[in-house]
Amino acid sequence: MTSVYFDHAATTPVDPRVLEQMLPFFCERYGNPSEVHRLGRDARTAVERARAQVAAGLGAGEKEIVFTAGGTEADNLALIGYLQRFEPGHFIISAIEHPAVMEAARALNRLGWAVDFIPVDGDGVIDVDAYEQAFRDDTKLASVMYANNVVGTIQPIAELARVAHEKGAAFHTDAVQGVGSVPIDVGALGVDMLTLSGHKLYGPKGIGALYVKRGTRLTPLIHGGGHERRLRSGTENVPGIVGLGAAVDLAQAQLAETRPRLEALRDRLARGVLESVPDVKYLGHPTERLPGNVAFTVRYIEGESMLLQLDAHGFMVSSGSACASGSLEPSHVILALGLGAEEAHGSLRLTLGRENTREEADAFIEVFPPIVDKLRQMSPLYVKG
Amino acid sequence: MYTDLVMDHFSNPRNVGEIEDADGVGQIGNPVCGDVMRISIDVDDDRIADVKFKTFGCGAAVATSSMVTEMVKGKTLAEAAEISNRAVADALGGLPPNKMHCSNLAADALHLAIQDYLVKAGREADVPQILKALPKDHAHSSH
């Protein structure tokens, strides 16, 4: 049976070459990096080698990488860890952040911090004027995601970071969807903090990192033995860290080849869907978007029902509908683009990865129109035009 | 997350469509919430002779609509009126908890269709007797 995975923004498989590098650190090279004996020193060497790999992938210094238990923790460390040092004031995020930033912001808000959510335009690009005007005398931080997980739009991060610095605030970006997909250089972007996650780039789950520019002071969220330069206590997840380092390294080596290939595949898929199904709207920016992201909304039908039909045909995709998300609300990202709730319920996201082929894209374009047709025939909202 | 029976009714829905010049039509939900169900019935000798549905919504919304049409065909109006949303969910082997509230309204749509029939047939006086619990202005509309 067909099995096509188009959900790489949710998670990616671990690359076998990454796994191979991780495996010795479970049963043989299991030392605790804090210990001075041979096994401890061996684990320490592996952790620091991975740190250098991650740093190299971002154009950062080795001392600027803090390993965490994933992207969510890194986002929380960036926002809460940075702002905790100050008396409550003001900070800024975009309206389309991942819940890891959104909910950390709400937690800070409950602690007395004022927060502004900057709107985006119909393509998902942040309103730079509104962003600039949102800064106040007591604004300490701005956080805007590098690329959106739902619609793939890439933000003008270098410009946003420059504005924040002019206003005397620090700048963080959640680059979980960007790292490994597009070239990212923290120096060129001018950010103070940047989040990445292992399992979005063919590394393992449960490992991530925060880039913290030298001189940026944070308060730890997790207290204990003072690991990770006192910023993240807890014995290091050595296999995970090794896996993250290997994954970043591999992504770097393959970027020049995979990026144009995925962009071509993305555009082929998008064109195929738009040409074969009427009343479909492409979501996100036409060009400033992640290489593997195809997002659209199909009128008159609901996302989860499309998703289940596609699943029955062997295609694994994702939807921003309320039902698919498990909440009662459709995706806040799609609503922020200015779409109505009805349209948001009909959204579908296909996110491509290294192993996807042209044949798979063509097979999708073959299978999808009859599914839409079947569901529309069932829909009381559909009036054949 | 869904039972095999839910998936069966979702993938092979029974009685999809709309009865032309139906004796009664009931619609519930709204597109903003992500669920709209419309059920049309033909009534013969106080029994539901034919029933069809159209549904905009998730897998649970389609499956409950399909299931309720199977449950009521041939039933008397009074028997059909006894079928609750809960009974439809039970007949499907249960629904995930988060679907019980928003996508489980098929019985309500059916009851509205019965009410519509009774009103059209000039039997408004029978409504309270047959439909003991009419669907309330559902919490649905408040989202």
pTM for this prediction: 0.93
Short-list B8, B54, B57, CA closest to A312: B8
Phi-psi region of A142 (alpha: psi -120 to 50; beta: other; left: phi over 0): beta
Helix (H, G, I), strand (E, B) or coil at A28: coil
Short-list B95, B114, B101, B93, CA closest to B40: B114
Helix (H, G, I), strand (E, B) or coil at A381: coil
Per-residue pLDDT, averaged over A294-301, amounts to: 96
Backbone angles phi, psi at A368, to 5 degrees: -70, -50
B60–A323 CB contact, under 8 Å: yes
B58–A323 CB contact, under 8 Å: yes
Nearest to B36 among A304, A305, A381 (CB): A381
Out of A93-97, A147-151, A321-325, least confident range: A321-325
Higher-confidence residue of B136 and A384: namely A384
The string of pLDDT tens digits covering residues A321-330 is: 766 565 667 8
Task: Determine the residue of chain A that is closest to B6 in CA distance.
Answer: A308
Gyration radius from chain B CA atoms = 14
Q: What is the per-residue pLDDT for B33?
A: 79
Specify whether the CB–CB gap between A148 and A182 falls below 8 A. Answer: no
A322–B99 CB contact, under 8 Å: no
Backbone angles phi, psi at A241, to 5 degrees: -65, -45
Mean pLDDT (chain A, rounded): 96
Position A201 pLDDT exceeds 80: yes
Higher-confidence residue of A294 and B137: namely A294
Task: Determine the residue of chain A that is closest to B59 in CA distance.
Answer: A305
Q: What is the per-residue pLDDT for A330?
A: 81
Q: What is the per-residue pLDDT for A329?
A: 74
User: Which of A323, A327, A382, A384 has the highest number of chain B CBs within 10 A, making it the mutation to test binding with B?
Assistant: A323
Per-residue pLDDT, averaged over A355-370, amounts to: 97
The string of pLDDT tens digits covering residues A222-266 is: 999 999 999 999 999 999 999 999 999 999 999 999 999 999 999
pLDDT tier at B138 (50, 70, 90 boundaries)?
A: very low
Helix (H, G, I), strand (E, B) or coil at A230: coil
Per-residue pLDDT, averaged over A344-367, amounts to: 96
Mark whether B58 is an active-site residue: no
Backbone angles phi, psi at B3, to 5 degrees: -70, 165
pLDDT tier at A157 (50, 70, 90 boundaries)?
A: very high
A328 to chain B nearest CA, in Å?
A: 7
Q: What is the per-residue pLDDT for B62?
A: 95
ipTM of the complex as predicted: 0.89
Phi-psi region of A300 (alpha: psi -120 to 50; beta: other; left: phi over 0): left
**Pairs of CB atoms within 8 A across A/B:** 79
Helices (H), chain B: 4-11, 59-72, 77-82, 85-91, 97-102, 106-120, 127-130
User: In chain B, which residues have their Cβ closer than 8 Å to the Cβ of A323?
Assistant: 34, 57-61, 99, 102-103
Nearest to B11 among A312, A340, A341 (CB): A312
Task: Determine the residue of chain B that is closest to A371 in CA distance.
Answer: B11
Position A34 pLDDT exceeds 70: yes
- Specify the pairing of strand A293-298 against strand A315-316: unpaired
Annotated catalytic residue within B16, B33, B78, B127? B33
Q: How many CA atoms lie within 13 A of B129 on its CB side?
A: 5
Helix (H, G, I), strand (E, B) or coil at A368: helix
Nearest to B16 among A322, A340, A377 (CB): A377
Position B137 pLDDT exceeds 60: no
B55–A322 CB contact, under 8 Å: no
The string of pLDDT tens digits covering residues B23-66 is: 999 999 988 878 999 999 999 999 999 999 999 999 999 999 99
Gyration radius from chain A CA atoms = 21
Q: What is the per-residue pLDDT for B140?
A: 41
Specify whether the CB–CB gap between A96 and A124 falls below 8 A. Answer: yes
Task: Determine the residue of chain B that is closest to A319 in CA distance.
Answer: B58
Secondary-structure breakdown of chain A: helix, strand, coil percentages, each rounded to the nearest 5: 45, 15, 40
B59–A312 CB contact, under 8 Å: no
B120 to chain A nearest CA, in Å?
A: 22
Q: Give the orientation angle of helix A358-378 with respect to helix A238-276, to 10 degrees.
A: 60
User: In chain A, which residues have their Cβ closer than 8 Å to the Cβ of B35?
Assistant: 302
Quote the CA–CA distance of B45 and B22 in Å, as a whole number: 15
Task: Determine the residue of chain B that is closest to A345 in CA distance.
Answer: B34
Backbone angles phi, psi at A350, to 5 degrees: -115, 125
User: In chain A, which residues have their Cβ closer than 8 Å to the Cβ of B34?
Assistant: 302, 321-323, 330, 341-342, 345
pLDDT tier at A302 (50, 70, 90 boundaries)?
A: very high
User: Which of B6, B12, B40, B58 has the highest number of chain A CBs within 10 A, making it the mutation to test binding with A?
Assistant: B58
B33–A301 CB contact, under 8 Å: no
- Specify the pairing of strand A208-212 against strand A193-197: antiparallel
Percent of the residues in chain B that have a pLDDT greater than 70, as a whole number: 92
User: In chain B, which residues have their Cβ closer than 8 Å to the Cβ of A326?
Assistant: 98
The string of pLDDT tens digits covering residues B70-117 is: 999 999 999 999 999 999 999 999 998 888 876 788 999 999 999 999
Per-residue pLDDT, averaged over A288-303, amounts to: 96
Higher-confidence residue of A328 and A117: namely A117
Annotated catalytic residue within A323, A335, A363, A367? A323
B32–A340 CB contact, under 8 Å: yes
User: In chain B, which residues have their Cβ closer than 8 Å to the Cβ of A341?
Assistant: 31-34
User: In chain A, which residues have their Cβ closer than 8 Å to the Cβ of B102?
Assistant: 322-323, 328
Nearest to B56 among A326, A328, A381 (CB): A381
Per-residue pLDDT, averaged over A271-294, amounts to: 97
The string of pLDDT tens digits covering residues A17-32 is: 999 999 999 999 999 9
| E runs forming strands in chain A | 4-5, 65-68, 90-94, 114-118, 139-143, 170-174, 193-197, 208-212, 280-282, 293-298, 315-316, 347-351
B18 to chain A nearest CA, in Å?
A: 9
Per-residue pLDDT, averaged over A363-370, amounts to: 98
DSSP B141: G
Short-list A359, A360, A314, A364, CA closest to A2: A314
B99–A312 CB contact, under 8 Å: no
Q: What is the per-residue pLDDT for B32?
A: 81
User: In chain B, which residues have their Cβ closer than 8 Å to the Cβ of A340?
Assistant: 32
Q: What is the per-residue pLDDT for B133?
A: 66
pLDDT tier at B141 (50, 70, 90 boundaries)?
A: very low
Q: What is the per-residue pLDDT for B11?
A: 93
**DSSP state letters, A136-181:** -TTEEEEE--SB-TTT-BBP-HHHHHHHHHHTT-EEEEE-TTTBTT
Out of A44-53, A201-210, B123-132, least confident range: B123-132
